[in-house]
Structure 1
Amino acid sequence: MKSMKMMKKQAQAGFTLIELMIVVAIIGILAAVAIPAYQDYVKKAKFSAALAEVTPGKMGFEVALNDNKTPVLAAATGDTEWFIGVQASNTNSTVTLTEGAAGTIVGTIVGGPAGIVGESITLTRDEGTGKWACTTTVEQKFVGPVETCDGV
């Protein structure tokens, strides 16, 4: 009788190999779904950070035009009174400018995952209406709704 009780106790201890394999398979399936979704989230966040850095350049551009100044990059002249966009190191984008009343502000995304690094966000000012248009080379699924870029 003692030997039967001992065998039952030994049989109930631990996990079987098949149970462990099932758990590993479930974890693998979850990882296969979660990792690409996370990468897309990171790309969307990087685009938003770049757009957030480029967009304030519109205000500097408009202020410079209203004060009869030529909009220039602050980094190009060191002038902080009439500038378009300060080169911020932690927002991962750079700003360049085509001068004139119908100017263009271009932010190039630096750093981040492949598929978004090196892409650009372009804000273009219509000289006649003063309205800004936004275009981007970033794949639309990372931009989000069309209003995200076009409604800037």
Structure 2
Amino acid sequence: MKKQQGFTLIELMIVVAIIAILAAIAIPQYQNYVARSQVTRAMGEAGSLKTVVEDCMNNGKTTVGAADGNCQIGATGSSILTGAAQSGETIDATVQGVPQVVINDDNTATVTAEFGHSASTKLTTGGAKQVQWARNDEGSWVCATDVEDKFAPSGCPVGTIQ
């Protein structure tokens, strides 16, 4: 009886084909997972500014800026967002951005996080997508996004961005 010294070419080709099929399925699923997680991350980063906006509104500050008497947001730069500093934040605008805050005189406000820089291409191709928290004049906040349905978290459905 002869001992087998290794694998035949056919056996190796079958293994390579199986790996290729698994990769063809796994890579797009992983890219979708990354995009979903980035939408959730942006929702959280923008949502964390709601407390600051409420505090500013309670103190009569409706202008966002770094000057005394203005609402100083103090947002932290994010590598998946684009947006200029609004109230003295130190960010490198070439690699990161911050959510943009608008406070209106009619007791409404918006916090908008626009995807950019190192965000998934699924969120930036065909025009940058956004996640937005909007406050109505009664003090209720709602989240909306314009990403594809499959990337939207349940707490922030696809809807109209103001």
> TM-score range with shorter-chain normalisation?
0.7 to 0.9
Relative to 1, partners in 2 of residues 1:40 and 1:85: Cα closer, same or farther, differing over 3 Å?
Answer: farther
Give TM-score, length-normalised by structure 1: 0.78
Cα displacement string for residues 96-126 of structure 1 (whole angstroms, at most 9, x for unaligned residues): 2232111111111122221213210111111
Aligned partners of 1:139 and 1:79: how far apart in 2? Answer: 41
| 3-state SS of 2:114 partner | strand
Matched, 1:64 2:53: no
Aligned partners of 1:142 and 1:119: how far apart in 2? Answer: 11
84, 90, 93: which one aligns with 2:73: 84
Alignment of 1:5-16 (within 5 A): 8-9=2-3, 12-16=4-8
2:136 counterpart residue number: 126
Aligned length: 136
Matched, 1:23 2:23: no
Give the letter aligned to residue 114 of structure 1.
T
Instruction: State the Cα distance separating 1:80 from its structure 2 match.
Output: 9.9
Give the letter aligned to residue 141 of structure 1.
K
2:149 counterpart residue number: 140
Q: Which structure would you say has the larger Rg?
A: 1
Matched, 1:49 2:38: no
- Greater share of residues in helix: 1
114, 119, 122: which one aligns with 1:115: 122
1:85–1:95 Cα contact (<8 Å) kept: no
| 3-state SS of 1:144 partner | coil
* Structure 1: gaps (5+ residues): none
* Structure 2: gaps (5+ residues): 82-96, 158-162
1:94 counterpart residue number: 98
1:108–1:121 Cα contact (<8 Å) kept: yes
Give TM-score, length-normalised by structure 2: 0.74
Aligned partners of 1:120 and 1:48: how far apart in 2? Answer: 11
Give the letter aligned to residue 124 of structure 1.
A
Relative to 1, partners in 2 of residues 1:85 and 1:52: Cα closer, same or farther, differing over 3 Å?
Answer: farther
Cα RMSD (Å) of the superposition?
Answer: 2.2
